[in-house]
Structure 1
Amino acid sequence: MTTRPSSSPYRTGSPPTENTLPTEHALSPQNTLPTGNALPEEGLPTDRVLADLAGLCAADHDYRDGTVFNSICSTPLPIAERVFAAHQQANLGDNRIFPSLPRAEAEVTAMLAGLMDGPGAAGVATSGGTEANLLAVLAAVRRHQRRFGDGVPARVLLGDSAHFSFDKIAALLPVEVVRVPSDQRLRVDTARLLPLITPDTALVVATAGSSESGAVDDVPAIAAHASAFGVPVHVDAATGGFLVPFARELGEPLPPIGLSVPGVTSVTLDPHKYGGAPIPAGHVLFRDPEDLAALRTASHYRGTFDHHALLGTRPGGALLATWAALRAQGRSGYREAVAGLWERRELLVRLLADAGFEVAPRPELTVVTVRHPSPEKLVDALERRGLIASVARRLGLLRLVVHWHQSEQQLRCLVAVLAEVNGGGP
């Protein structure tokens, strides 16, 4: 057993469990609930329920056990876990019972606005990037309707690399989505995107950290061109929001992605990814408070605040845990965490190259993609050994994600198993 690497972002708490990687991952019929799916007539004893729950969850992975290499989420910071557990009853939908929550939401908004170089920005806590993106598109649609009425289609431009949450959004909102191919670095091809922007475009979406490849779009170029036509730009930084600013401070050649970029009108962040907050914890920021005001839904109850998010009952415990994580880490804590992630990413890239794998394109954030004739077979073989990787299906690439729940030794074990299964293993 080894200890957590010195580059861990966690300042407190016990180290993750290290292990040698298993050869098989048990998925047995015994893991099913013996009582079936029916609601029991009489309540079961607590010990029985907990034993059944243990069986139900027996095949689950733990981020810290050295088997998870596909996730941009991780175990929350210890302080965030404590706060979340202590405030599970807190409801962001009822400010009279929980007056702390509107204040916490305003303070989290201010901290995230500072991170995105947008002091004075308005914001709202969400369940994650999907809801945050939906709210940003909805605000753009309402802005578009104020300018052009309902007769002009609300056209939204985005890259093929945009998150699939926009597929859901396109099915829910009155928008006409135009998708633009990616360039060789898997970013949206600006040479194809910019000529499509016209004065009646409702919104342009830029991605700051594709969940498939980690690619970061050229936000300044996109926003400069769009702003010349008065077209708003939304930056989906659900993956990169807690990575890009600190990587830039460390000297990495990444573009600015926040509200300091002229023309960027809204930004999505996900504290439950690289921010150390528990799930669900997302946020959306708006440069212009009027865009947030356009999302207002009046409450039916005297003294209860109007709503600006999609959800009514919202988990206040997640917001308070986010508040605690941001204050406990501070900029220096996140900067240290990102430095450690970049060290481990470079180690993984070197190990893969030494093992004969082609890493392509060069990773910009924490997603490492590998060209292989049969990435699905590699992932299936890894999973039979208890290791979780993924395939970016649209790209046909093996996808590996570096996170702070991994140690250097675990990354070495991963590549060793990859090399084994690639050399003729099952």
Structure 2
Amino acid sequence: MNGLRQARSHETTPLRTVRAGGSPDRSVDGRTRTPVPAWAEVLGAYGRPAALALDVALALLVVAAVYQYAGPYDVAVGGAMALCLLARRSRPGTVLTAELALAMVQFILHDVPEWPLTAAPAAYDCAILIAMMSVIHHGRSAWMPYAAGAVVLLATGAGMVGVPGTDVGAFVASATDLMMLWAITLTVWFTAFALRVRRLYAESQAARAEQAERERGHLTRIAAAEERAAIARELHDVVAHSLAVMILQADGAGYVLKASPERAQEALAAIADTGRDALGDMHRIVRVLRGTDPEPATGDEEDRRRVTLDEIRVAADRARTAGLALDVLVDVPDGTLTPAQELTAFRIVQECLTNVLRHVGPGARTSITVREDAGTLSITAVDDGAGHFPAPRPDRPTGGHGLVGMRERVEVAGGTFTAGPRVGAGWRVEARIPVKGAA
């Protein structure tokens, strides 16, 4: 985070505003605009005119001081000093240099001619202090406030000796006058520097708040993406598995409808049970998407909503009814897994059965083992590919999200996942998940 080291920048349309201390504002057409100080921003659209009005007021103050003197060139020199102050926000360093150069001209016109053409020192020399304050407050480099103070102190100190090698003599009568001038200069410098530090601190706090807001938004988007991925996995598992079983059951019922009405009736009953379970899962997911909080359910409804390892046997029976030769072994002591781990194990087994039914067919022989040993839950699914080497089948869809969803579930649980063809024919899926005891 760079909030403590750089001033915050706002973005408005069409003008980008940079707080005092930053670079001058540039509109979309590239033209430089006078920056608006922090105190003027509270005025909204009137902030910039208010800042410009203050600059004009300071310039008029210097002009008013000029008319206290009767020198023929006081008006010219003092007026030039006042005019330079109008650019003190956008070009503070240049303005201070110009003010010091005009002061040098003022003292030359005071000392070199036979009679003074200007007064020196004069009240309108306060323009130098105003320019120094502008450098401290609006300077874009960290060294500029110190350089401005040193230059003004040295220029004032030169008043004790004048300019060697020229006719410009001393304009400070005594060391007491010099100390007084330095005291005024240092007072102005410390005041301006304190205001600069306060401004930079406020801007750094605002930048940190803005950065924190961006980070919160980023984390919210990440959480939303993760939630969408989780819902997508649930939808895929419910829809893909249920439809695969129902399609195979419907095909089987059509084949045996005339030859064995009893088996066709069993297949239709399995289709109805699978559809009801899928519809219940879809209702649960829709309630999550809507953000509604249903009333607490009891009895069979609550048991159905919580998926346990017993559901593996139900899914296995339906797969066998669809014609799959299936061996299932579940060796997990009761209370070993948390509800989330049981759901993960069931969804992985469910997806394995779905893939076998979709990509291999009901003629495949499949073996599924779910076992907990030494604090690790291992899930292994192996099929023989119906006796064929693994190869793309033109009559089967490819490129689904099943393997991706299984891998994401296992990684969320902190485990490892592998899937790929076996040596020979068939496919092997293996997941290993560290077990955390149920509360």
Q: Same fold (TM over 0.5)?
A: no
- TMscore range, shorter length: under 0.3
Normalising by structure 1, report the TM-score. Answer: 0.22
- Which structure has the bigger radius of gyration? 2
Structure number having the greater helix percentage: 2
Q: Which has the higher contact order (CA 8 A, sep 6+)?
A: 1
